[in-house]
Amino acid sequence: MVAIPVKTNKEDPAISPLFGHAKWFAFVDEEGNVEIKRNPFDGGINVVSWLLQGGVDKVITKHIGRKPFMLLSSEGVKCYYPGEERITVKEALQKCQKEECEEITLENLERFLRH
């Protein structure tokens, strides 16, 4: 299951520049079905716990905090960066399928922290 923070609950929304404070998350299953759910939390570890409970094993995000990244990483969840330009869920998924998304790692995390 892939989780992507998004700006709205409309069809094929744009990715949010926020992670934990995003109002909505798109959840994409193995068949490519997308379900958008309201984020019940306002940042922090609770958002990560919610994603993990939902079976998420991959996150596509523009920015992420150190603590959420470390927790996701410790649970084996891979995080990917689709680029800074405006991009929709469908476009980001296609980009990652073509291996054009950069994996966020401990070594490059500083570039993706929200300051």
Whichever domain contains 106, its CATH number is 3.30.420.130
* Residue 109 DSSP SS3: helix
Q: How far is CA 88 from CA 37, 51, 106, in A?
A: 16, 20, 26
- Crossing angle of helices 45-53/66-74, nearest 10°? 30
The three state secondary structure string of 12-42 is: CCEECCCCCCCCEEEEECCCCCEEEEECCCC
What tokens appear for 28 in the block? 């994409």
Range of the domain at 15: 2-112
Which 3 state secondary structure label does DSSP give 98?
Answer: coil
- Tell me the pLDDT tens digit for each residue of 49-68: 999 999 999 999 999 999 99
| 71-103 tens-digit pLDDT | 999 999 999 999 999 999 999 999 999 999 999
Domains held by the chain: number:
1
pLDDT at residue 43 greater than cutoff 90: no
